[in-house]
Amino acid sequence: MSTCERCGAEFHCAMADAAPGQKPSGAPGETPCWCTFLPPALPVPGEAAAVGCWCPDCLRAHIAALKAP
């Protein structure tokens, strides 16, 4: 399980929460994370990034705020 960097909620991230002993490779056919189905709103964290992933609720709220006038 991953922990949301914004609110602390636990959630599943297919990119970070690979099966035990398996590292996500990004290979074609690998199950994409739920966040890939949402509009891009934040830079994807890399190995050196200080900010981690957000849970579905926080990411959806952020996207909604970006669309608000």
Residues 43-54 pLDDT 10s: 665 555 545 788
Per-residue pLDDT at 33:
80
Q: Would you state the structure tokens that stand for residue 16, as one six-digit string?
A: 């970070």
* Residues in Cβ contact with 28 at an 8 Å cutoff, skipping those fewer than 6 apart: none
Three-class secondary structure of residue 2 per DSSP:
strand
33: containing domain: 1-69
The pLDDT tens digits of the residues spanning 15-43 come to 776 666 666 555 555 667 888 888 888 76
Q: Which helix H or strand E contains 62, and what residues bound it?
A: helix 56-67
**For the chain, what is the domain count?**
1
- For the chain, give the percent of residues with pLDDT over 90: 16
Q: Give exposure, 38-48, as e/b (b: 16+ Cβ within 10 Å).
A: eeeeeeeeeee
